[in-house]
Chains A and B, each alone.
Chain A
Amino acid sequence: MQVPRNWRLQKQRYSLIGEVCEHCGVKLFPPRDVCPECSHGAQTLYQFTGMGNIHSFSQVFDPPNGHIENTPFIVALIQLEEGPMVTAQLTDIDIEHVEIGMEVEMVTRKMSDDGTEGMIIYGYKFRPPIVD
């Protein structure tokens, strides 16, 4: 079970792939295989557009290991245009320009690395769209 599980997590982390409930149409992120609205099975993969709005945000000064070079960074609660709420870092923006309600888009960036010899972990972050 471990290999498919990791594979699925990787897809989820790189490009916001979740699930859609074929019964009621609700989109799920992260994927959890059972629809929280109607309790039917929801295992059809769904690629989110990556567009969303900032619901709330704060700056992290005391980060977990592996994030030291990136500190301070901004973490936001983002409402995806399909509905789900995700927590993610913001990038390519300074804290004084962040506003609640502002439009953001998903990008894949380096999340952390395990020193100079370990693996580099990539995942989704959000930033203001290149074109307004």
Chain B
Amino acid sequence: MTIDNREPDLQAMKPDIPVGIVGYGAYIPRYRLPAEDIAKLWVGPSNRVPVTEKSVAGIDEDVVTMSIEAARNVLARADVNPIDIGAVWVGSESHPYAVKPTSTIVAEAIGAVPNTQAADWQFACKAGTEAIQASTGFVGSGMTKYALAIGMDTAQGRPGDALEYTAGAGGAAFLLGTAEESVATIEGSFSFVTDTPDFWRRQNAKYPQHSKRFTGEPAYFKHIAECAEQLMHALGTKPTDYAYAIFHQPNSKFPQQVAKVLGFTTEQIATGLLAADVGNVYAGSALLGLTAVLDVAQTGDRILLVSFGSGAGSDAFDLSVNDRLSLCQTLAPTTKDYIERRTVIDYATYARYRGKLALI
């Protein structure tokens, strides 16, 4: 059989019924571990660290508790009865159970049970954005009134590994509903995926493995740039049309480089670039950038959001801000409020909080 290798028809994904973000909520835990502290322990004092500090979850926190807080912040902004939420979807690579959904516990805690869809999503750092795309389809087809999509992680790096400098904790939740009642309309989205061996974790392994050769160019840069360019091409937009752009942030450098390649300025990415303060919060990374932007964006602003997940793939979104946003920005703690609530801890406390020490 011959392969039909014609160019696909590149159209942005858009539902029949226009859909938007009805409410949003961030969460970042209180603790911070300076990257310099990690460097001192493993390689001696260094100023070549990839972020300033990373956020660390407390001993009583996990993706369930963090998702619940972000979801409550959504409800504080959305004025929606939780029984009308038809889907609760949580994207993460650090779900507390291998088998038993995070999403049912979150749904129970916010009062969305029992008449709701609930599922956990997994695709490294883009598990949250794919939950948003699925929610857009679920609402946009009329199957449900509202869908809650969450990207949240308590990322783990093997002690001494390069990932330990950046593997942080945090994320965000978004309630999708009709564009009519939304604070920001999703004008379209696009996905770009290939089978790329850049980063993985096997079922029973505590820490992930990564292959240096595949991390930058063939994985992060290729997927984000292609995805962003194809979405803009499909929608007929250009970088200068956007007030803000947010790219997945495994460190501070990569998103700045990819922004430059695509033709975005430092000003366009500054508001949503949080890696220096919180590290790489994996499935929550680009999404936390989006909540930071929504906290300050104004009516008419256009936003470009592009995630990246190892394995590998990117999801891109074009959003436009509606009047309603200004009415809900201060109804829950802002992303900046969480960033400024910080307590610095040392490596020993970090090791205890994140289960890197075994109690005998």
Residues of A within 8 A of B (CB): 10-11, 14-15, 47, 68-70, 91-92, 107-111, 120, 122, 125, 130-131
Contacts and interface: CB of A to CB of B under 8 A. Distances in A.
Given A108-B65, A122-B65, A130-B341, A70 B59 contact: yes
Main secondary structure of the interface of A (DSSP, over half): mixed
Contacts of A15: 109-111
Interface string B185-204: 00000000000000000000
A131 B333 contact: yes
B205 interface: no
A108 B68 contact: yes
A109 B30 CA distance: 14
Given A111-B60, A125-B60, A130-B338, 17 more contacts: A10-B108, A11-B108, A14-B68, A14-B105, A15-B109, A68-B359, A70-B59, A70-B60, A108-B65, A108-B68, A109-B65, A110-B61, A110-B65, A122-B65, A122-B109, A131-B333, A131-B337
A130 B334 CA distance: 9
Given A130-B337, A130-B338, A69 B30 contact: no
B58 interface: yes
12 contacts: A14-B68, A15-B110, A70-B59, A91-B58, A92-B58, A107-B69, A108-B68, A109-B65, A110-B60, A110-B64, A120-B96, A122-B105
What 6 A-B pairs have minimum CB-CB distances, sorted nearest first? A130-B333, A109-B60, A14-B109, A110-B60, A108-B68, A92-B30
Contact of B62 (A68, A69, A120): A120
Interface in B144-201: none
Interface in B211-257: none
A108 B69 contact: yes
Contacts of B352: 69
B69 A14 contact: no
Contacts of B96: 120
A107 B338 contact: no
B110 A69 contact: no
A8 to B, nearest CB: 12
A92 B56 CA distance: 12
Contacts of B68: 14, 108
Contacts of A107: 65, 69
